[in-house]
């Protein structure tokens, strides 16, 4: 009795394949799937199978997280990507990430100026809460 199967491998990438390609743990692949960053189909044996873009999506998600986006925000951005994104799709997404990073950087700089103003911290919080900061 042979322990190996002569059956052809199932189409798509396994959790481990995506983990290896993206440089994350298998549990992180499942985490990103749970939040809609990547999607998987299921085999008849209930195993996950991902398309070829899954590893790239996770790499981009990690970059977007460093910009400060939450996983939910990243999933929302990715929802506009086609199933098999091309260079123009990734370029458009890069533009959105650049805009978001610039906006967040400007906001942080404004808050730094406020912190350096010498005002009381509680007054700064009031200023920020009023939407004028």
Mind listing the pLDDT tens digit for each residue in 5-58?
454 455 799 999 999 999 999 999 999 999 999 999 998 889 999 999 999 999
Evaluate whether residue 4 is within a structural domain: no
Q: What is the reported pTM?
A: 0.77
Give which of 36, 39, 46, 48 is closest to 11, Cα–Cα. 48
CATH of the domain at 112: 1.10.1660.10
Evaluate whether residue 68 is within a structural domain: yes
Range of the domain at 114: 15-129
Evaluate whether residue 2 is within a structural domain: no
Evaluate whether residue 40 is within a structural domain: yes
CA distance 106 to 120: 22
Evaluate whether residue 55 is within a structural domain: yes
38, β-bridge pairs: none
Evaluate whether residue 92 is within a structural domain: yes
Evaluate whether residue 9 is within a structural domain: no
Give the number of domains in the chain: 1
pLDDT over 80 at 125, yes or no: no
Per DSSP, 4 falls in state: S
Could you give the residue ranges of the DSSP H alpha helices within 38-117? 54-67, 71-78, 87-115
């Amino acid at each position: 009795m042979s322990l190996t199967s002569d059956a052809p491998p199932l189409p798509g990438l396994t959790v481990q394949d995506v983990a290896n390609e993206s440089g994350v743990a298998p549990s992180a692949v499942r985490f990103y799937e749970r939040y809609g960053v990547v999607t998987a189909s299921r085999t008849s044996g209930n195993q996950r199978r991902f398309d070829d873009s899954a590893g790239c999506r996770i790499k981009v998600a990690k970059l977007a997280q460093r910009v400060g986006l939450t996983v939910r925000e990243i999933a929302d951005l990715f929802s506009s990507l086609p199933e098999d994104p091309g260079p123009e799709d990734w370029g458009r997404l890069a533009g959105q990430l650049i805009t978001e990073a610039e906006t967040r950087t400007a906001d942080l700089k404004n808050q730094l100026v406020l912190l350096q103003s010498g005002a009381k911290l509680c007054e700064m919080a009031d200023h920020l809460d009023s939407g004028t900061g």
